[in-house]
Chains A and B, each alone.
Chain A
Amino acid sequence: MEDLDYQELKKGGMMRQSEKGRFSVRLHVTGGNLTSMAMGIIVHVAERFGSGEIHLTARQGIEIPNISQEDLRKVKNELSSGGVSVGVCGPTIRTITACQGCRICPNGILDAPRLAGVIDQNFYGKPVPHKFKIGISGCTNNCIKAEENDVGIKGAVEPLWDEEFCTHCGICQSVCPVKAIEVDQEKKKVKIRFFQCIYCGDCIQSCPTNSMKEAQRGFLLYAGGKFGRFPSIGKRIGKLFSHDSDLIKAVGASVEFFRLNGKPKERFGGALERVGFDKFEEFMREKLEEGLDEKAA
Chain B
Amino acid sequence: MKRQLDIRGDVCPGLFVKVRAEMERLRKGEKLEVILKERDLKDVMSTLKIEGYQVPHVSQEGEDYRVTVTK
In the complex the two chains form, is A206's CB within 8 Å of B50's CB?
no
Contact A208 B60, CB 8 Å, known A106-B50, A174-B38: no
Q: Which residue of B lies closest to A167 (CB)?
A: B58
| Other-chain contact of A170, B42, B46, B49, B60 (Cβ < 8 Å) | B60
Could you say which residues of chain B place their CB within 8 Å of the CB of A208? 45, 48-49, 54-56, 58, 67
Any B CB within 8 A of the CB of A198: no
A: number of interface residues (CB 8 Å): 12
The complex places the Cα of A106 from the Cα of B50 at a distance, in Å, of: 9
Any B CB within 8 A of the CB of A202: yes
Q: Which residue of B lies closest to A209 (CB)?
A: B55
In the complex the two chains form, is B50's CB within 8 Å of A175's CB?
no
Q: Which residue of A lies closest to B47 (CB)?
A: A106
Contact A106 B46, CB 8 Å, known A171-B41, A174-B38, A206-B41: yes
| Other-chain contact of B42, A167, A169, A175 (Cβ < 8 Å) | A175
The complex places the Cα of A205 from the Cα of B45 at a distance, in Å, of: 7
Could you say which residues of chain A place their CB within 8 Å of the CB of B38? 174
Interface residues of A in 244-284 (CB under 8 A from B): none
Q: Which residue of A lies closest to B67 (CB)?
A: A208
Instruction: Quote the shortest CB–CB distance from B51 to chain A (angstroms).
Output: 11
Interface residues of B in 32-71 (CB under 8 A from A): 38, 41-42, 45-46, 48-50, 54-56, 58-60, 65, 67
In the complex the two chains form, is B49's CB within 8 Å of A205's CB?
yes
The complex places the Cα of A206 from the Cα of B56 at a distance, in Å, of: 13
Interface residues of A in 194-209 (CB under 8 A from B): 202, 205-208
The complex places the Cα of A208 from the Cα of B42 at a distance, in Å, of: 11
Could you say which residues of chain A place their CB within 8 Å of the CB of B49? 205-206, 208
Query: Which of A170, A202, A208 has the largest number of chain B CB atoms within 10 A?
Result: A208
Known: A174-B41, A205-B42, A206-B42. 13 other contacts (CB 8 A): A106-B50, A170-B58, A170-B60, A171-B58, A175-B41, A175-B42, A175-B45, A202-B42, A206-B46, A208-B48, A208-B49, A208-B55, A208-B56
Instruction: Please give the residue numbers on chain A whose beta carbons come within 8 Å of chain B beta carbons, in ascending order.
Output: 106, 167, 169-171, 174-175, 202, 205-208
